Every structure is written in C-alpha cells, then in structure tokens.
Amino acid sequence: MRQQYEEMSRQWGAVPDDAVAEPAKLGQIKGEWLRVADTQPDRILFYLHGGGYVSGSPESCRSLVARLCKASGAAALVVNYRLGPEFPFPAALRDAVDAYRFLISKGFSANSIVFAGDGSGGGLAFATMIAARNAGLPMPAACATMSPWADLTLSGWSIMENAGKDNCLSWDILFTSARHYLQKRSPADVYASPVFGSFHDLPPIMVHTGSREILRDDASKIGELAAEANVPVSVEIYDGMHHVFQAYPNASEAKVSLGRMGQFIRTHTLERKNKVSVAAGVANAAKNRE
C-alpha cells in the first residue's frame, strides 16, 4: 500500500522551482517547513498529509502543498506524524496535537495558523481541532481540507454509490487502512472519526471534494455538523472529480479549487505590516527551542 501511494504521488507534478523545504523539529515531533516566494511570515499552514494513516510523508505531498502555499501566500509546516500499523491510533492524533501545542508555546499566534490536509490528513485536521478545543488550546484561524476521510466506519452512502466511479480509492483500501491504524479501537471513536463529534466552537471551515469519490459524503457530513454548531462552513463538490484532484496541476478544477482555498486562507489570517522572512521566523523558533 505504501509503495502504491508513493507511485501515485509521483504523478502529482513537479515541485515549484521557488519552493524551499527545510527539516522541522517540534519537540519530539518531526516535520518539514515549506515556503515559496512571496510567503507571508504571519500566515502558516499546519498541514497533515494523506495516505490512509498507514502511508504518506511530507515529501509525498510536497508539490501539492507548495501550490497551496502559492495560492494562499503562506508557509507550511507539514507534520510527519507516526503511521500504523507500527504506531496505531491515537499516535497520529497525539503527534498532531503535540506539534500544534509546540507552535503555540513558541509564540506563534493561533490567529496566523490554518489547519489543512488531504484525505486522512483532512480527517486528522478535524480530530486535532476537536482534541485541541477539549484541551483548552486556542483554536486556529480556520481549517481547509481536500477530500477528508472523516468517517472510518465507512458508513457514507457514497462508499457504495461511487464504488464504480472512484479511480483512486476503494472500500478494500479504506477498510485495510482503518484496520491497520485502529487495530482494536472503535472506528466510531470521535478522535478517529470526527463526524461523530461536536463541532461547537471550531473556526471557519472549507472542504472541497469530488462528486465521483467514495468519500464525498464525509465532506457533506462535516458541512452538516458545522452548520448545526453555527460554525461558518463552505463545502464544495466538484463535478466529475476524483479523490484529491487538486494534486493534479493540469486540471482546471484543481486550479480553481486551490485558488478558492488560497483566498479563504488569506481572508481568515492576519495581515501584518512588518514583514519578516519566513526563514527568520523558523530560525527564531529553532533558537527558542534550544
């Protein structure tokens, strides 16, 4: 499965020439800082990669994240959270929460941070926000996800309805991934499947998904939960599109989706007049850590 995912991610196009990736260490958690030209130092994407909780890495999603950075004018911190089956649930969630807590503790304003992710990383973004809220941590400015996997019980009707249309995912892949990740834990646990949780007091949310993918109903359910909790939410379902279609740079729908997400991120983060380089900000964080 890991080999299959890596092969798929190699089809996601080249990383932009102006993208600069640097190792990140947030306490015991590792990751990657990614920035492009004209990045705002006061706008950070807290990005969680996809891969079904059993595969994926900051490197595998680098081209996609770099394009989202360009659209939003943000630097990205891509968390290299632990994967199952070697590190089962809730290891990934703990890593994500600890990484976010580290950022806040080092002086990064929650108002400048937007959670983002694709696939399982999108579901993990919502689970992390719920855990952070319950722990009394400040909420990020917003959350933007692509094709989030937020229901590990696989109860959405689109799992069946789009079984013959989704050329990226299948019930077998999702079931196997969930089994390796959860092991003996319930797939209905809120921190594994945030669609079974409460979205009260969460920040504004944007979710983009494709009409042909089996996870389409996960996005719809997130929209319903957010609306019930009076959380500003926008769920956009792109006709004829598959899972994480934004990763394919030549698709016109991908450009539209990333553009709209970029504007959403810009709108919900602070613009500061004093522009310091992101490299300096990262260096200061490293210095503070020492």
Instruction: Identify the structural domains of the chain with CATH numbers, from first to last.
Output: 2-269 (3.40.50.1820)
Phi, psi of 77 (to 5 degrees): -110, 110
Closest CA relative to residue 169, chosen from 238, 120, 208: 120
How crowded is residue 2: how many other Cβ atoms within 10 Å of its Cβ? 14
- Counting Cα atoms < 13 Å in the Cβ hemisphere of 132 gives 26
What is the distance of C-alpha 153 from the center of its chain?
20
Please state, in angstroms and rounded to a whole number, the distance separating the CA atoms of residues 198 and 131.
Answer: 11
Give the per-residue pLDDT at 288. 47
What is the spatial distance between Cα 246 and Cα 138, in angstroms, rounded to a whole number?
29
In this structure, are residues 115 and 128 in contact, taking their beta carbons and an 8 Å threshold?
yes
pLDDT of residue 198: 97
147: left (phi over 0), alpha (psi -120 to 50) or beta: left
The pLDDT, as a whole number, for residue 275 is 36
Alpha helices, DSSP H, located in 203-251: 216-228
DSSP strand pairing (74-79 vs 29-35):
antiparallel
Ranges in the chain, pLDDT < 50: 272-280, 283, 285-290
pLDDT value, residue 2? 86
* Residue 145: closest CA among 264, 252, 229: 264
Give me the residue label for tokens 């089994």: 179
C-alpha span between 131 and 137 (Å, rounded): 9
Q: Model confidence over 85-105: pLDDT tens digits?
A: 999 999 999 999 999 999 999
